[in-house]
């Protein structure tokens, strides 16, 4: 029972403390500190933070795992499909294997307040 209550508390605080999406640098990229989303050639590009230096990375969306098709993350039609699914589920788990750490980094990403930021990002391109 205590474990169950702790899990509920942990999940609630995780949701409340979710990072906000903001324009990063110029008007061409939005970030929440875990992922960066930009638009290139009409498609979304999703990348890991520059400090991550990943060997590999994946995003788990509603039980479906997307593996990075490049060392920096996801682009093209794969990123477009991911954004489509992320907007429907509002939450995902990001995993990447950092070259300088011994364990896989796992972070939760909240997409509940990203719609207006994505619309503004698309308008700029």
- Note down the domain range covering 64: 20-123
11 within a domain of the structure (yes/no): no
The answer on pLDDT for 88 being more than 70 is: yes
Query: CA 55: distance to chain centroid?
Result: 17
9 within a domain of the structure (yes/no): no
pLDDT category of residue 5 using cuts at 50, 70 and 90: very low
Euclidean distance between CA atoms 119 and 107, whole angstroms: 24
Q: What is the pLDDT of residue 57?
A: 83
Q: What is the pLDDT of residue 111?
A: 82
Burial state string for 50-86 with b = 16 or more CB within 10 A and e = fewer than 16:
eebebeebbbebeeeebebeeebbbbeebbbebbebb
**What does the block give as tokens for 115?**
């719609």
Round the CA-based radius of gyration of the chain to a whole number and report it: 15
- Choose among 116, 66, 90, 95: nearest CA to 15: 90
Q: Is the pTM of this model over 0.85?
A: no
**CATH number for position 28:** 2.60.40
Q: pLDDT digit string (tens) for 30-86?
A: 888 888 898 888 899 998 877 777 777 888 888 888 888 666 788 889 999 999 988
28 within a domain of the structure (yes/no): yes
């Amino acid at each position: 029972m205590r474990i169950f209550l702790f899990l509920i508390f942990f999940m609630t605080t995780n949701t409340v403390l979710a990072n906000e999406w903001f324009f990063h640098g110029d008007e061409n990229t939005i970030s929440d500190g875990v992922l960066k989303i930009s638009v290139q050639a009409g498609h979304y590009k999703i990348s890991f933070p520059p400090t991550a230096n990943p060997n590999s990375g994946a995003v788990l969306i509603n039980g479906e795992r997307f593996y990075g098709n490049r060392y920096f993350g996801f682009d093209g039609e794969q990123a477009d499909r991911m954004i489509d699914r992320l907007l429907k589920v509002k939450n995902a788990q990001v995993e990447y294997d950092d070259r300088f750490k011994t364990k896989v980094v796992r972070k939760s990403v909240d997409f509940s307040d990203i719609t207006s930021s994505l619309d503004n990002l698309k308008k700029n391109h």
